[in-house]
Amino acid sequence: MEGSVLVIGAGIAGIQTSLDLTELGFKVYLVERTPSIGGRMAQLDKTFPTNDCSLCILAPKMVEVFRNPNIELMTYHEVKKISGEVGNFAVTVLKKPRYLDETKCKGCGDCATKCPKIEVPNVFDMSLGKRKSIYIPFPQAVPPVYLIDPEICLKLTKGVCGVCEKVCTVEAIDFEQKPQDIEINVGAIVVATGFDMPAEQLSSRWGYRYQNVVSALEYERILCASGPFEGHVLRPSDQKEPQKIAFIQCAGSRDLHENVPYCSSVCCMYTAKEAIITKEHSDNSDCYVFRHDIRAYGKNFYEFTQRAQDEYGVKYFQSKISSIEEDKDNNDLLIHYEDLKTGKFSDFKANLVVLATPLVPTKGTEEMAGILDVELDKYNFYKERSYFNKSLSSKEGIFLCGFCQGPMDIPETVTDASGVASQVAMILNSVKFNEIREKEGIEPEREIKITDEPRIGVLICHCGINIGKYVDVSSAVEYVKTLPYVVHVEDNMYSCSSDSQIRIKELIKEHNLNRLIVASCTPRTHESLFQETCVEVGLNKYLFEMVNIRDQCSWVHMNEYEFATDKAKDLIRMAVAKARLLKPLTEALLDITPNALIIGGGISGLTAALNLASQGFQVYIVEKENKLGGNLNDLNILYPIHEDSSKFLNEIKNKVEKSKNIQVFLSSKFKEIKGYIGNYNVSIIDSKENTQDVKVGTIIVATGALELKPEGLFQYNEKNKNVITQLELEKKLKSDDKSWLDGIDRITVILCVNARQKKGITYCSNVCCGVSLKNISIIKELKPELEIVVLYRDFQMAKKEFEEYYRDRRKESMFLRYDLDGQPEIVKINEKPEKYQVSVFETNLQDQLQFETDLVVLSTPMVPPENLQELAKMLKVPLDKNRFFLEAHVKLRPLDFATEGIFLCGCAQWPKNIQDSISQANGAAGRASRFLSAKTIKTSGLIAEVSQERCIGCGKCESVCPYNAIELIDSLLDFEEVSLNVSKSFINSALCKGCGTCAATCQNGAISVKHYDFDQIYAMIESYLLE
C-alpha cells in the first residue's frame, strides 16, 4: 500500500486537499494541466459574502503548497494513464515542455520584456488582456516560472529570434525540451478538476457574440485591480464607463434548451457581489439584475442579496429574458424581457450586459473519467457513489472534491477538501507518514547569548537587473560595510537560488555570523526560505532579517537611481539596527492528547465520530438527549433519494456501537471545559449528577438546530390540530397510522413562514423547500387524488439533484407565488372537521386568490437551540448574530474556529441538509485529525510576553485579544507579613498569534512582542531619522 496520493487539479479544491493530506501524513502529487496553481478562484476579484479580495486569501495557500516538502507540484502536467486499485495505483503523467528549466528560472521577467510584440489573448484574463509568447499566467502564479507558447514563439515556429535565450542571465531557456512521461505510484486519487464557463456555447438569443455582453467570469477580470482594465469598470467595445449594467441570471442554467437543466448554485450570489463591487468602484454605474428565483444557498447569503438592494441600490427584476440584441450605432444592448411581476413585455437598454452563464464540468472531463474508469452523471459531473457521501466516486480509492462533482461554492469546496483528506486517511491509515519526508541535514542549533557581540552578515541581491539596474548595489555594499556590528557584506545575482543558499551557509560559518540580513525581494514570499537556510546551519531562524529593496524600492523608483539607492541604504541600515537587538526565539512543542470530544450526537456528530474512530483516535460523544440521532429520529423519508430515515440512522448507530474507539455519554452536559489545543480537560455530568472527566486534544461542535415553532402565525396554536409544521407532518407521515389523511382533500403548504423577512428572522434556511417538495410527493403516493397547493416565494433548489426533483413535483401540485408585501392569510371557517380559508395575492397572475383547505402545513426556518451561549462561553468561541456558531472565516475556514483546536460542523454552523451535514462532519474530522495525527504541535516564536513586575492586572489586554490567549490569573503576592491577592495577565503561548494588539493596548508597557518589540522598532525609527 502506498502512502501517497495523486490530486488532479490545483484549484482551491486541490490545494486545500493537498495541504490537509500532507498534515494527515501523506505525500501528495499535485497535477495541474495549466502552468500555475490557483484555478478559478485566482481569477476572481472578490468573494461573497465578505467581499474579501480573492487572491489575497488564496495566495498564502498557494505559497504554502509551493513550499511544502511533501507536495510534489506538477504544473503543466497531465494525467495520461491509470491502472491498479485502491492502495496501489500506477499513474503515468505527461510533463509538457515549458521550453525553459523551471529549476533555473527566477521569474524575473526579463525575457518577456524583450520578447517581440506578437501577442495572443491571455486566457487568465478571460482573453480580455494580451500576453506574449514567453509569459507567466499572472503575476502571483505558483510556481513563479515562465513558459513559452510554442504556437507563436518565433524560435519554435520559424527558427528565428531566440532573444529570450540571450537576455536570460541564468540560462534557463531550453528550446530543445520535449514532452516527458513520468511514472508514479499512489494509494489513492482525488479528482478536483473544477468547472468551465463556456459562454460561447449558449444559443444566440443571449447575445454573447456582441462585444459588450460578457460572461460573469470575464466581468470578474474587468473588476479586478490586477485585471486588464486595472479594476476600472469599463466596457470592452470603447473602454468607457458603462452607466447601465444589466446582470442576467440563469443565462442558460435551469434551461432544458441549453442542455443545462440544473441550477449552477452560485450565480445569484456572485451577481449580487459583482453588482455591489461595481457600485463601490463607480458612482456613475447603475446595476440592474434580471432574476428568476433568488437562490442564496449558504450562511447569511440571502441577506447579502438584500443588502445589494437596500444598501447599494441594485435593482432586481423578476423576469424572463427573450433575447438580447445590439444597437449597431453605439454597441449598447437591447434586452427584451417579460416582467413576471406585471406580466408585461418590455425592452431595457443597457451599456453592458453580464451573463450568469452555466457552470459546467471542465473540458476534458469525459476523457479523464475514461482514464480513471469512473462514472459520470447525466450532466457529466463525476457521479458520487451515494447521495449521502458525495466525496466517493464510483470506484474505491478515487475521491471527488469540489465543482467536478456538482455546483458548489468555495466554502463547500474547502469543506469537501478536508472531508476527502480525512476519508483518504481512513483507507490508508496503516501507511500514514510512510512517505512523509522531514528535512534532512540540519545542524544542531548554535547557542547565541544576549551578551554575545552581534556579528551581522549582509547579503545584497541584484535580482538579475531587477534591483541592480535601479539601485547602485556596489555603493550600498560599501556603505553597509561601515555600519556597526556588520562583519561581512557581499552582493550576488540571485540570493534565492540554490547555490546562494550554499553560499549563505558558508558565510555564516566562515565569519561566525550570529545575525543574517538579506536585502532582496519581499519577506512574504522568501523569508521562510532564508530562515530555513539559517536553521540548516544551526542559526536560530529568528536571527534572520529581510530587507525589501525590490518590490518596495527598485521597482517603484525606476527612474530615480540616486533616490532609490539612498532608500535602499536607509532600509538596510534600519534592518541592521534591528538585527543587533534580535533574540533567538524558541518554538515550543506541545503534546497532543490523541482523543476527540464531539458535542452533539446527531448525524453530523456521529459521522465525525466514525471518521475519527476509524483513523484510530479515541472519541467521546456527549449528547444532551437520551438517544443518538438528533433530528433524524423525527424524519420519515430523506430527499431527494427517498431513503427511509430510520434505516439510514440505524446503520450509522450500529457502526457507532460496534466501534471500540467511541464512547457515548447520553443525557449529559458539561460541568467544565478547560485547557487549550492538544490538552483539554473536560468534565461531563449526566442527569443523575454523575461526573466523569476525560482528556481530549480537540473538540468538534455539532450541536445542530431545531425547527422554529411559528406560534401565533397562520392560525398555528394549541387548538388548531390541522395547522401543523413541516416536522409535525413528517412525524405524521412516519407513523403507521395514516387515518389522519381521511377526510382531507386539499392541503396547503406555506413556505418561508417567518423567514427571509426585513425584521426578525432575515435568513433563508436553505432546506425547507426541499423538505416540502419531498413531503408533497410522499402524500401524493399515499393519496393520489389529494390536491396540494404550495405558496412559495422563491424555490431554493440549488445543487445538481434538486432542479429536476422540483420540476417533477410541479406536475403533482399547484404552485402559487407570493411576495413579502402580500403574505397569505388563513381564516378558520369550520371547527369540525377543521376547514380553513386561504387568501393570497398571486404575483405571477397579479390576482387575489381565495380557496378552502383542510390542512395547512407551515415551513419554518431552522433555529439554533436555546442556551448555546453557555457552551460558547465555556469553549471561548463566538456565536453569530443569528446565534449559530461563528466560524473562523466564512470562505476558507468554514469548519474552524478562530480558537485553534476547536471545530464545528452541521447545523451548529448553519441550517443544512443531510448531505451537507455529512460532508461538513467529514471535513471537521479531517481538520481535527490534522492535529491528532501530528501528536505534537509547534507554536510560533512570534508571540507576546507579559512582564509580571510591570503588569497591574487591569485586564485591557485580555479584552482586546482576539484569540482568547490572555487570561488574568490571581496569585498571592507576599509583602513581609501580609499576603495580597493580585491579578496578573498571563499569555498562553499555544494560543497567541503574535499580532501585538495587547502590547499596544497595555498602558504600562508590560507586554513585549517577540521579534517586533518596542526597542527593536524604536531602533529602526531612530536609525532612519538620525542619519
* Residues making contact with another protein (CB under 8 A): 45, 50, 52-53, 55-56, 59, 139-140, 224-226, 230-231, 522-524, 548, 550-553, 555-560, 563-564, 566-567, 570-571, 574, 898, 942, 960, 962-963, 993-997, 999-1001, 1009, 1012, 1014, 1017-1018, 1020-1022, 1024-1026
**Residue with Cβ nearer another protein (513 or 564):** 564
Q: How far is the CB of 300 from another protein (least distance, A)?
A: 13
Lookup: cell for 708: 422554529
**Residue with Cβ nearer another protein (443 or 1022):** 1022
283 class by beta-carbon count within 10 Å (0-12 exposed, 13-18 middle, 19+ buried):
exposed
CB 756 within 8 A of CB 764: yes
Q: CA distances (Å), 914 to each of 247, 598, 918, in order?
A: 33, 18, 6
Q: How far is the CB of 1002 from another protein (least distance, A)?
A: 9
User: Within a 13 Å sphere around the CA of 556, how many CA atoms are in the beta-carbon half?
Assistant: 9
Q: How far is the CB of 853 from another protein (least distance, A)?
A: 47
What is the 8-class DSSP label of residue 553?
I
Q: How far is the CB of 957 from another protein (least distance, A)?
A: 11
Query: At what angle are helices 301-310 and 267-281 packed, to 10 degrees?
Result: 40
Q: How far is the CB of 931 from another protein (least distance, A)?
A: 21
**Residue with Cβ nearer another protein (827 or 1000):** 1000
Q: How far is the CB of 52 from another protein (least distance, A)?
A: 6
Q: How far is the CB of 12 from another protein (least distance, A)?
A: 17
Q: How far apart are CA 599 and CA 928, in angstroms?
A: 14
**Residue with Cβ nearer another protein (546 or 635):** 546
Q: How far is the CB of 840 from another protein (least distance, A)?
A: 40
**Residue with Cβ nearer another protein (600 or 894):** 894
Q: How far is the CB of 158 from another protein (least distance, A)?
A: 28
φ/ψ of 728, rounded to 5, equals -65, -35
Q: Report the candidate in 283, 208, 288, 316 with the shortest Cα–Cα distance to residue 252.
A: 208
- Ordered alpha helix ranges (H), 93-223: 110-114, 154-158, 163-167, 216-223
Q: How far apart are CA 127 and CA 133, in angstroms?
A: 14
Per DSSP, the residues of 106-122 read ----HHHHHS-S--EE-
The dihedral region occupied by 1007, where left means phi > 0, alpha psi between -120 and 50, and beta the remainder, is: beta
**Residue with Cβ nearer another protein (581 or 685):** 581
Per DSSP, the residues of 951-1003 read -----HHHHH-TT--EEEEEEEEEETTEEEEEEEEEE-TTT-----HHHHH-T
Q: How far apart are CA 996 and CA 988, in angstroms?
A: 14
**Residue with Cβ nearer another protein (364 or 962):** 962
Q: How far is the CB of 451 from another protein (least distance, A)?
A: 26
**Residue with Cβ nearer another protein (72 or 560):** 560
Q: How far is the CB of 63 from another protein (least distance, A)?
A: 11
Q: How far apart are CA 258 and CA 896, in angstroms?
A: 39
**Residue with Cβ nearer another protein (31 or 553):** 553
Lookup: cell for 890: 466564512
Per DSSP, the residues of 601-619 read -SHHHHHHHHHHHHTT-EE
Q: Is the peptide bond preceding residue 228 cis, with omega within 30 degrees of 0?
A: no
**Residue with Cβ nearer another protein (194 or 994):** 994
φ/ψ of 948, rounded to 5, equals -65, -30
**Residue with Cβ nearer another protein (155 or 578):** 578
**Residue with Cβ nearer another protein (119 or 570):** 570
Q: How far apart are CA 209 and CA 331, in angstroms?
A: 12
Q: How far is the CB of 942 from another protein (least distance, A)?
A: 7
φ/ψ of 211, rounded to 5, equals -60, -40
